[in-house]
């Protein structure tokens, strides 16, 4: 008889956990099918290594993978993947809020620590942080029961000149980009305005957009009259916004 309260990670190696988490992360914000080649690139290993790893996870009922087809998580694999994602994002939040890390420093630390904490320590971290719903990059933190809410967001780079939105999520894949975005307040929760885009040079100009506080007064965390900042369109594919 299976213990319904047992951790879905209890019998999984760190490598297996990494595979499942990367599959989830690849499909969380994108509908693009995930291939063995793409998964190998994300994991930094060879396609042959990934093929063997995927085969083992498929045999364990965690991954659905038709030969030469798309890699997807089974319901059991999704539950395990979200358990790893939860730990990773809780650790990132802990490092920023409790230990003073900046948001560009936490990913690699969390990659290690997510495999080292117990269910009990995870629970205590969650309690200590006040049960956060999002990590420092705006990624939603799954509940302990594997429930996750992903907003219908757009890439900032897809907006036209004159459009604005609220930053909801920023990929943590590029630490240097995170540093630059933080400097100009393109961070989760901030309102941004696309002032111009130049298709010929693949540049977009983004400025913090003044918004109203609870009293109805305009406020702008970057200061009044903040100048638009140029970004490459490819870089802004790492930023998601929702209307606002």
Q: 117, 149, 181 — which closes off a domain?
A: 149
Same structural domain, 51 and 101:
yes
Count the neighbouring beta carbons within 10 Å of the beta carbon of residue 59.
Answer: 9
Q: 109, 125, 149 — which closes off a domain?
A: 149
- pLDDT of 3 > 60? The answer is no
**pLDDT grade for 222, boundaries at 50, 70 and 90:** very low
**Res 6: pLDDT:** 65
End-to-end CA distance of the chain: 49
**Res 7: pLDDT:** 80
Number of H helices, E strands in the chain: 7, 10
Same structural domain, 15 and 101:
yes
**pLDDT grade for 129, boundaries at 50, 70 and 90:** very high
Portion of the chain with pLDDT greater than 70, in percent: 91
Same structural domain, 121 and 32:
yes
Per-state percent for the chain, helix, strand, coil, to nearest 5: 40, 20, 45
Number of domains in the chain: 2
Q: Which helix (H) or strand (E) holds 212?
A: strand 211-212
What pLDDT, in 10s, does the model give residues 156-199?
Answer: 999 999 999 999 999 999 999 999 999 999 999 999 999 999 98
Burial of 117 (0-12, 13-18, 19+ CB in 10 A): middle
**Res 221: pLDDT:** 43
**Taking the model in full, what pTM does it have?**
0.88
* Contact indicator for 28, 86 with CB cutoff of 8 Å: no
Sheet holding 191-198, edge to edge: 154-155, 239-242, 164-170, 191-198, 203-208, 229-232
Same structural domain, 14 and 96:
yes
Mean pLDDT value across residues 42-68: 93
Same structural domain, 163 and 144:
no
Same structural domain, 130 and 99:
yes
**Res 238: pLDDT:** 94
Give the domain CATH number at 4.
Answer: 1.10.10.10
Same structural domain, 220 and 190:
yes
Nearest to 153 by CA among 238, 234, 236, 241: 241
Nearest to 242 by CA among 179, 152, 132, 158: 152
Same structural domain, 170 and 52:
no
* Contact indicator for 133, 143 with CB cutoff of 8 Å: no
Where b means 16+ CB within 10 Å and e means fewer, 219-237 reads ebebeeebebbebebebbe
The whole-chain average pLDDT of the chain stands at 90
Same structural domain, 165 and 94:
no
* Contact indicator for 205, 176 with CB cutoff of 8 Å: no
Whole-angstrom distance, CA of residue 102 vs CA of residue 182: 10
* Contact indicator for 192, 156 with CB cutoff of 8 Å: yes
Same structural domain, 66 and 172:
no
What pLDDT, in 10s, does the model give residues 192-220?
Answer: 999 999 988 999 999 988 665 544 554 44
Beta strands 203-208 and 211-212, pairing class = unpaired
**Res 95: pLDDT:** 98
Same structural domain, 144 and 167:
no
Q: 126, 149, 172 — which closes off a domain?
A: 149
Range of 142's domain? 1-149
């Amino acid at each position: 008889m299976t213990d319904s309260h047992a951790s879905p990670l209890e019998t999984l190696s760190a490598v297996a956990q990494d595979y499942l988490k990367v599959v989830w992360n690849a499909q969380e914000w994108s509908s693009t099918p995930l291939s063995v080649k793409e998964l190998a690139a994300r994991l930094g290993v060879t396609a042959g290594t990934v093929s063997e790893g995927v085969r083992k996870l498929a045999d364990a009922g965690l991954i659905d993978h038709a030969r030469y087809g798309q890699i997807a998580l089974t319901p059991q694999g999704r539950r395990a993947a979200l358990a790893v994602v939860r730990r990773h994002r809780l650790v990132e939040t802990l490092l920023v809020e409790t230990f003073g890390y900046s948001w560009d420093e936490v990913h690699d630390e969390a990659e290690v620590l997510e495999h080292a904490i117990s269910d009990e320590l995870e629970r205590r971290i969650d309690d200590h942080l006040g049960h956060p719903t999002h990590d420092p990059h705006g990624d939603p933190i799954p509940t302990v029961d594997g429930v996750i809410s992903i907003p219908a967001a757009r890439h900032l780079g897809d907006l036209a000149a004159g459009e604005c939105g609220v930053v909801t999520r920023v990929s943590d894949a590029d630490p240097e980009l995170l540093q630059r975005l933080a400097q100009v307040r393109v961070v989760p929760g901030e309102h941004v305005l696309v002032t111009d885009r130049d298709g010929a040079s693949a540049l977009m100009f983004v400025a913090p957009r003044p918004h109203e506080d609870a009293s109805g007064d305009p406020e702008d965390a970057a200061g009044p009259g903040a100048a638009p900042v140029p970004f490459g369109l490819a870089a802004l594919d790492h930023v998601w916004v929702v209307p606002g």
